[in-house]
Structure 1
Amino acid sequence: MCDTCGCGSEGEAVLLKPGERGGGSHDHDHHHHHGHDHDERRTRMVQMEQDVLQQNNLLAERNRGFFEAKRILALNVLSSPGSGKTSLLEKIIPLLKENVPVAVIEGDQQTTRDADRIDALGVPVIQINTGTGCHLDAQMINRAARQLPLQDGSLLCIENVGNLVCPAMFDLGEALKVVIISVTEGDDKPLKYPYMFHEADVCILNKIDLLPYVDFDSTVCRENAMRVSHGLEWFELSAKTGEGVDLWASWLEKRLSQS
């Protein structure tokens, strides 16, 4: 088990190409120790969490050095399930791939459904199935990146597992954390999951085409997000209709030119 959040361990991730079938169920031998008092258990848990994150961060720096050496702009794309991460990639990739190489790492607990959708766009993609794991980590990205034909000066989109808690804790070596929320989730989302929004560099409000039909105040949501992170870049768009996607694409192109 992952000592930080209790999900599947780092070594259990399965890398798959589009169309391959993933397992995701694993056999474990669990060893539980009893008889320690509460303070001792808590001390050990804190130490184990620190060790796990320290090991992850060391490998994340290696990933970051590799990406920077090849001038790869790596995005860690985060959201709760169903916010539209894959749909937005399907919109943005065709706008960018004619001018810049694009590759994608897909993270999900099961199946290659999202990787199959990206593969249909004609860009390199690899799927990471985490089984019971609720986040990607630096080791998974290191392994996946070695199997992708990453070109110098390219855009690497890492679609993390749908979760607004644990993925915020794990540095993957990315240049930017991009958190996506949708208007169907509630405008208080940044306040309910502050650590994610504090760690993010960019926030994208998706599904604005639904604003007339839901009880959601985009101004309040933005204000809440800015309360958590004053320097957060903010975009409002619809991956379904394409509204606002051009602004996001232009912003990415500018960042790519600077990398």
Structure 2
Amino acid sequence: MCQSADVTRAVLAKNDGLAADLRGELARQSVTLVNLLSSPGSGKTELLGQVLARAVERRVPVAALTADLATENDARRLARAGAPVKQLLTDGLCHLEARQVRRHLDGWLPEATAVLFVENVGNLVCPASYDLGETLRIVLMAVTEGEDKPLKYPTAFGSAHLVVLTKTDLAEAAGFDAAAFRAHVRQVNPGVEVVRSCARTGDGVDTVLERVLAVRDGDPAHRPPLAPHPYGHVHEPEDGPASPDEPHPHPHAVAGPAS
């Protein structure tokens, strides 16, 4: 257990260093990186597509990097908004890391980009532990997932600067308890804003874009102080096995707490 926890801390610390470097580099280029996290089927891609389209209409220079284990379906969907979009395939890994983002930005990101959206892999566990160099982390959840999800995934919701509730047109049919959901969000992330959205009607799309642009313009992004990486997940790097001085647990193994 001790060795596993030490490995987790070392890998996450290395990622944090790379993320800090990337954040600084993007800041010098006046680029705001927005990291979008959710479980599969939350409606993240559809909402992002609408946000990109609104930004393009307003002539805000935006771009999107979308991650999946396989297929380029999401990139094709997002490209309809008219913004530069690139697909990142993780080849089976269930999260993104800062090194992957940095590598895929080389030679691709347009110089005038003001906001870069990174659509993370659909997963509320692993991605929550990895800083991608973002200025703003948005966690999305559909009403069909149940109001207790913030308590089940405290790292994801607790590390959010903004929480977006999606598919609100289905709330009544799903028996969704909005008051309980907000209470659960407050329990793990006091003070964070919750935005209601519905991609079908466009509700909340402008609000999400406005919150992103406010952070781009210098408004502080709310997030309470957290203990570093309360739940760490470590996987084999996509570019091959770790070196002897940088061991990794078996892929998809959950690191245990320090003893």
TM-score range with shorter-chain normalisation?
A: 0.7 to 0.9
Task: Choose which of 83, 95, 110 in structure 2 pairs with 1:150.
Answer: 110
**TM-score under structure 2 length normalisation:** 0.81
Moved over 4 A (4+): none
Structure 2 equivalent of residue 57 of structure 1:
16
AA of the residue aligned to 1:171: D
Deviation at 1:186, TM superposition (A): 0.2
Deviation at 1:231, TM superposition (A): 2.8
Structure 2 equivalent of residue 131 of structure 1:
91
1:37-69 deviation per Cα after TM superposition (whole angstroms, max 9, x unaligned) = xxxxx2221121111111111110111001111
Aligned residues: 218
Deviation at 1:152, TM superposition (A): 4.3
1:84 matches 2:39:
no
Deviation at 1:121, TM superposition (A): 2.0
Q: Distance in 2 between matches of 1:63 and 1:157?
A: 14
Deviation at 1:191, TM superposition (A): 0.5
Q: Distance in 1 between matches of 2:4 and 2:110?
A: 38
Are the counterparts in 2 of residues 101 and 151 from structure 1 also a CA contact under 8 Å? Answer: no
Deviation at 1:144, TM superposition (A): 1.3
Q: Distance in 1 between matches of 2:43 and 2:73?
A: 14
Of 197-206 and 47-56, deviating more is 47-56
Q: Distance in 1 between matches of 2:110 and 2:19?
A: 17
AA of the residue aligned to 1:69: R
Are the counterparts in 1 of residues 62 and 113 from structure 2 also a CA contact under 8 Å? Answer: no
Q: Distance in 2 between matches of 1:47 and 1:165?
A: 19
Structure 1 equivalent of residue 70 of structure 2:
110
1:252 matches 2:212:
yes
Give the 3-state SS of the residue equivalent to 2:145 in structure 1: coil
1:218-253 deviation per Cα after TM superposition (whole angstroms, max 9, x unaligned) = 121011101101131210010121112222222223
AA of the residue aligned to 1:44: Q
Q: Distance in 2 between matches of 1:249 and 1:46?
A: 38
Give the 3-state SS of the residue equivalent to 2:15 in structure 1: helix
Are the counterparts in 2 of residues 75 and 156 from structure 1 also a CA contact under 8 Å? Answer: yes
Deviation at 1:118, TM superposition (A): 1.4
Q: Distance in 2 between matches of 1:82 and 1:249?
A: 21
1:203 matches 2:163:
yes
Are the counterparts in 2 of residues 153 and 256 from structure 1 also a CA contact under 8 Å? Answer: no
Give the 3-state SS of the residue equivalent to 1:110 in structure 2: coil
Q: Distance in 1 between matches of 2:98 and 2:74?
A: 20
Q: Distance in 2 between matches of 1:106 and 1:78?
A: 11
AA of the residue aligned to 1:218: A
Of 249-258 and 91-100, deviating more is 249-258
Q: CA RMSD in A?
A: 1.4
Q: Distance in 2 between matches of 1:258 and 1:165?
A: 29
Percent of pairs identical after alignment? 39
Structure 2 equivalent of residue 185 of structure 1:
145
Give the 3-state SS of the residue equivalent to 1:258 in structure 2: coil
Match runs of 1:234-245 below 5 Å: 234-245=194-205
Q: Distance in 1 between matches of 2:72 and 2:136?
A: 25
AA of the residue aligned to 2:19: A
AA of the residue aligned to 1:201: H
Are the counterparts in 1 of residues 53 and 82 from structure 2 also a CA contact under 8 Å? Answer: no
Instruction: Structure 2: state its 5+ residue gaps.
Output: 220-259
Instruction: Structure 1: state its 5+ residue gaps.
Output: 1-41
Q: Distance in 2 between matches of 1:218 and 1:67?
A: 37
**TM-score under structure 1 length normalisation:** 0.81
AA of the residue aligned to 2:215: R
